[in-house]
Structure 1
Amino acid sequence: MILEKFKFNGKNLEDGPSWGMTDISMGTMRFRWNETNENRNAFLKKLCGSDKFPAAVELIHSKTVYDIESADETIGLQGDGIITRNKNIVPVVTVADCMPIYVFDTKCGTFGTLHSGWKGTGIVGKAVGIIIEEYGSRPEDICVAIGPHIGDCCYNVTEERAHYFIDNFCHDCVSKISEDNYSLSLTKANLAVLIKCGIPEDNIKIMDECTCCHKENGEFKFGSFRRQTLNLPSDMPLEERLTKFTVQAAFVKW
């Protein structure tokens, strides 16, 4: 499991919350409101202990962020981000190639976890906007961490999607490989969002491990939708396909 501190003014912020993500060895953390995942439940019970409570949403690849005061406010909700000032809450989202993003405001104390797939790129701007507008925070007081996700080494997209990112984020987040085949850097796209928001570079931590290809000791470290579903039958129903890869849990915890 990854467990890290935020970076503030270029240094690890030891007195702030920690952010983290499970890995493939811990099993799937798949989450649906109408399902029971005992593996996930056991992990969250151990993570939270007796004094903290997990808050989750069922992901829909959106830019929807919930600002909550108690963990039960998200029960039954769909969305892709949770922020809170309540230190007894552990905001949790699931990821498997999509980007986990973590935020923490050093002044007002708001913290949270976001799921940012290609459709949801820009959700971190939405979360930062809420923190600034609702709590009077300043961009220079906000820390952001980008967790492991599929890298441009493995993320090939069509020309249409490449131009979407060029038009909406930045030109250098895509590179042409061949006709109608481009590589996409979700890191560069999200950095463009953070720069636009005014977040200082010294307040941003980036984990550059690719969930699709990164190995440790010869074994894949992370679950990956792209890698683990690559050789499945093309006629397999989507709902069944979505059960065939290892989902990670991404969280922030005091």
Structure 2
Amino acid sequence: MEPFQIKSKQWMALDTWMNQHPSLVAGFTTKDEGVSSFPTEALNLAFHVSDLEENVQENRERLAEQLNFPVQHWVSTEQVHGTDITLINSNDRGKGAYSLETCIPKTDGLITRESDVLLTLCYADCVPLFFLDPDTKWIGVAHAGWKGTTGNIASKMVKALCEQGVKLNQIQVAVGPSICKKCYKVDQRVISAVNAVLSEHDPKPYQELEAGQFSLDLKELNVQLLKNAGIPETNILSTGYCSSCDQKLFFSHRRDQGKTGRMLSFIGWRE
């Protein structure tokens, strides 16, 4: 069953979790019904691409109205394709919500158990990872491109939650819309990094197409790393959506040759 369900032209909900936990808001945006020009009327939600700051602010306000979660309670980061994780509390509300200059610096993972805080990260092919422990209310979100993935941000998110007292077998993870294996071709440098983070006995989530060229399943690689970190396979959900294939729904850095906007992953508890 697809864990993400379209709620409007602007966003899809992580329904599998939200139906079980009515105060939870979690999902992923589309590229439609905004004011940015990628190419027209696009819902770009990132400040670091070639867009006017006021456009991004307006797009965020539109989404906030859809989610019933005010922008001044959002938290955004300066994403650097790394593996640093930041613990968020209520004092962080509004950081990065209205400008790049106020973003939490150099962070690709966020965790919190505070209510009325929306954790947000931006994407245009990389893998969004959502984390939830319904018992303790700890939640998290991570941005996993190939660098973050091979840096094992998935496992580091698990470790960060466990350090807060979360039990390993209680952690639920959802893998959101991102580029699929068919659309994601990489070179030997990337595959060498993939092999370095896997054991020799792990299934390899790639296929060689020709000498030095491979097709990589970045979603499946993250699933394998989560299982290696101790997350039960039954606790992991994965979407079938591809940011590149599903052109009507999503921006794609690879498909659009870098000239594109960004979607947003988000998770938070309403008070």
Q: Normalising by the residue count of structure 1, what TM-score does the alignment of the two structures yield?
A: 0.83
1:174-189 alignment runs, 5 A limit:
174-189=206-221
1:21–1:248 CA contact under 8 A, matched in 2: yes
Calculate percent identity across the aligned residue pairs: 27
Pairing 1:138–2:138 present: no
Tell me the equivalent position of 1:108. Answer: 136
Counterpart among 150, 157, 166 of residue 186 in structure 2: 157
What is the rounded CA distance, in whole Å, between the counterparts of 1:6 and 1:112 in structure 2? Answer: 16
Query: Which residue in the other structure is 2:37 paired with?
Result: none
Deviation readout 1:15-37 (Å, 9 max, x if unpaired): 56242111111411113499552
The one-letter code sitting in structure 2 at the alignment partner of 1:226 is R
Q: Which amino acid aligns with 1:5?
A: D
Aligned length, in residue pairs:
233
Partners of 2:154 and 2:231 in 1: how far apart? Answer: 11
SS for the counterpart of 1:226 is coil
Decide whether aligned partners of structure 1 residues 12 and 179 sit closer, same or farther in structure 2, where only a CA change above 3 A counts: farther
Query: Counterpart of 1:30?
Result: 46
TM-score, with normalisation over the residues of structure 2?
0.78
Structure 2 gaps of 5+ residues are 1-10, 34-42, 96-101
The within-5 A match list for 1:85-234 is 85-121=113-149, 122-134=152-164, 136-169=165-198, 170-215=202-247, 220-229=248-257
Secondary structure of 1:228's partner?
Answer: coil
**Which of residues 61, 64, 68 is equivalent to 2:88?**
68
After superposition, give the CA deviation of every residue in 1:100-140 in whole Å (9 maximum; x if it has no partner).
Answer: 11101122211122111111112121111011112x22111
8 Å Cα contact 1:95-1:247 kept in structure 2: yes
Q: Which amino acid is the alignment partner of residue 47 of structure 2?
A: F
| Distance across 1 between alignment mates of 2:132 and 2:243 | 24
Q: In structure 2, what is the Cα distance between the partners aligned to 1:32 and 1:167?
A: 31
Partner secondary structure for residue 148 of structure 2 = coil
- The more displaced of 178-187 and 164-173 is 164-173
The corresponding residue for 1:238 is none
| Residue 8 (structure 2) aligns with | none
Mind listing any 5+ residue stretches in structure 1 that lack a counterpart? 230-240
Distance 1:45 1:221, change over 3 A: closer
- 1:43 is displaced (CA, Å) by 3.1
Summarize the Cα distance change of 1:6–1:203 in structure 2 as closer, same or farther, 3 Å threshold: farther
- Please identify, of 39-48 and 79-88, the stretch whose mean Cα deviation from structure 2 is larger: 39-48
Seen in structure 2, the aligned counterparts of structure 1 residues 54 and 181 have a Cα distance that, compared at 3 Å, is same
1:184 positional shift? 0.6
- Aligned pairs for 1:31-50 (under 5 A) are 31-32=47-48, 35-36=53-54, 37-46=56-65, 47-49=67-69
Alignment equivalent of 1:77, drawn from 80, 84, 104: 104
Inter-CA distance 92–43: structure 2 relative to 1 (3 Å threshold)? farther
Paired AA for residue 154 in structure 1: C
Q: 1:50 to 1:156 in 2, by over 3 A?
A: closer
Give the AA of the match of 2:251.
G
Give the Å deviation of 1:42.
Answer: 1.4
Give the 4+ runs in structure 1 shifted more than 6 A.
Answer: none
RMSD of aligned alpha carbons: 2.4
| Cross-structure match for 2:76 | 56
Report if aligned partners of 1:151, 1:211 keep a CA contact under 8 Å in 2.
yes
